[in-house]
Amino acid sequence: MLNGLSGELQRSLLAEMEPATVASLLEFLEPEESASLLRDREATHVAQVLDLTAPDVAADVLHLLPAKQQLETLREMTESGEVEDLLQYRDDTAGGLMTLEFPVVTENITTPNALDQLRLLGPDAESISSVLVVNADRQLVGSLSVTRLALARPNAMIRDIMGTHVHSVIADTDQEECARVMQRYNLGRLPVVDQEGRLTGVGEERVMGPIRSSLRSRLPRLSINLATAFLAALMVSLFEDTIVKVVALAVFLPVVASQGGIGGTQTVTLVVRSMALGDVPRRQGLRLLRRELVLGLAHGLVLGVMVGLVAFAWKGNATLGLVLGVAMWANMLVAGLAGAGVPLLLRRLHMDPAVSSAVFVTTFTDVIGFVLFLGLAAALVEFLV
């Protein structure tokens, strides 16, 4: 319907639409049409739209925008890294045409690990018929059909079951040559590599990859974690007077927070992996929470008794041991509930549980652990002095 309207009416309609709606429309338009619609828009608006499109679509549109608007838009985008990688190639080359959204596995992992990676793609994995295989240096060494992957033995290594004969082109290959290669060998997809045979356009951070990519990948999460750390510090500051009266409390603060964080992280890891394997259907969420509640109670009871006895033996104060033991017991309960509940909630909100769960869980356990321990100590401070 949009294609049948005049350019002026198209632009006026898009001005009234949410960025997510405009982004979904761009997936169905030719790049020239998309660029025409966005050429008169502010860079901030264009950036919001392109942040919500696939990197290859965003790169195709940016290629056709005026240079000044292109630079301003890139500066405003929050997800510009992969787009900038694609912009270095001409539109009519393999690099300019390639998509970054294709599953890649390394040759030295087992088939269950590879299947986990596919499951984490969610609905996007339904249209995938094969995966590409790379070695430790990111060089393309083979491919593997999803059918063969699914039917392989659980202990099979990818390198032992992959096909090693795979056609590819380098990034600056002309699009017409790419088309000839695909037609000649009846290929549905054509991998793009650099001069050293490394697969081009794999977006995840690599150990020896560019520092800029690592910063872009890690810094936002570290910033969030820093904010949550200050929140925990704020909770501690509320009990400064109690800590001054009973200095021994400061000694045991890391014990409560650390144990809760470890317990929560263990649960998160198990739950996220189980989600990837399909072991946690959506209707089983409450059952999982009940299970982790029981485990949290059991772990907390055992660990609470242990740390309580240690505190009593060390400081000779039975009330201190009781306060520490109760706080540990309660925080392990929180760790179990948060470790299971946070991934379930993120999945419900259509967010990736594997990315953000740990930050939220450690925040819960740190803040609640400090409040429980110091709150109980403040209530019983006359018995601790």
* CATH code at position 249: 1.10.357.20
> 318-348 and 353-379 are packed helices; what angle lies between their axes, rounded to 10 degrees?
150
Last residue of a domain, one of 88, 112, 147: 88
**Of 105, 113, 100, 99, residue with least CA distance to 135:** 105
The reply to whether the predicted model has a pTM over 0.85 is: no
* 283 assigned to some structural domain: yes
In a domain, 98, yes or no: no
Q: Which residues pair with 169 in a beta bridge?
A: 192
**Helix spans in 79-143 (H):** 81-87, 94-97, 111-119
Residue 305 has pLDDT above 60, yes or no: yes
pLDDT of amino acid 321: 93
The pLDDT score that the predictor gives to residue 62 is 85
Considering the domain boundaries, does residue 156 fall inside one? Answer: yes
Per-residue model confidence as pLDDT tens digits over 315-353: 899 999 999 999 999 999 999 888 888 888 877 776 656
Instruction: Report the CATH number that the domain containing residue 120 is assigned in CATH.
Output: 3.10.580.10
Amino acid 320: pLDDT: 92
- Same domain flag for 222 and 363: yes
Q: Which of 22-26, 189-193, 249-253 has the lowest mean pLDDT?
A: 189-193
pLDDT > 90: what percent of the chain? 11
The answer to whether residues 139 and 156 touch, using CB atoms and an 8 Å cutoff, is: no
- Please tell me whether residue 145 adopts helix, strand or coil conformation: strand
Measured over the CA atoms of residue 199, residue 204, residue 206 and residue 210, the dihedral's sign is positive
Residue 50 lies in a domain: yes
Does some domain include residue 206? no
Phi, psi at residue 174, to the nearest 5°?
-65, 145
Find out whether 197 and 145 touch, Cβ atoms under 8 Å: no
Supply 145's token pair. Answer: 């059909």
Residues 217 and 355 in one domain: yes
- Mean pLDDT throughout 250-276? 81
Q: Where are the alpha helices (DSSP H) in the chain?
A: 7-15, 19-26, 31-38, 43-50, 55-63, 67-76, 81-87, 94-97, 111-119, 146-151, 158-161, 175-184, 211-237, 240-245, 248-276, 285-315, 318-348, 353-379, 381-384
Q: What is the pLDDT of residue 309?
A: 94
Phi and psi angles of residue 377, each rounded to the nearest 5 degrees, phi first: -65, -40
Report how far residue 210's alpha carbon sits from residue 118's, in angstroms, rounded to the nearest whole number: 26
Per-residue model confidence (pLDDT) at position 214: 54
Which of 4-8, 110-114, 115-119 shows the lowest mean pLDDT across its residues? 115-119
How far, CA to CA in Å, does 208 sit from each of 134, 136, 205, 211, 357? 15, 11, 9, 8, 26
Check residue 277 and give its pLDDT. Answer: 54
298-307: average pLDDT: 92
Same domain, 258 and 315: yes
| pLDDT band at 203; cut points 50, 70, 90 | very low
d(CA 14, CA 265): 44
Q: Do residues 187 and 303 both lie within one domain?
A: no
Element (H, E) at 141: strand 140-145
Does one domain contain both 304 and 246?
yes
Which of 167, 193, 219 terminates a domain? The answer is 193
236 lies in some domain: yes
Q: Are residues 84 and 108 in the same domain?
A: no
Q: How does strand 130-134 pair with strand 104-106?
A: parallel
Same domain, 76 and 21: yes
The model's confidence at residue 204, banded by pLDDT at 50, 70 and 90, is very low
Asked if 253 and 377 sit in the same domain, the reply is: yes
Final residue before a domain boundary, out of 193, 223, 238: 193
- Interval 20-29: pLDDT, tens: 888 888 888 8
pLDDT at site 323: 93
Number of domains in the chain: 3
Confidence tier at 93 by pLDDT (50, 70, 90): low
Structural domain that includes position 286 = 211-384
Residue 329 and residue 230 in one domain = yes
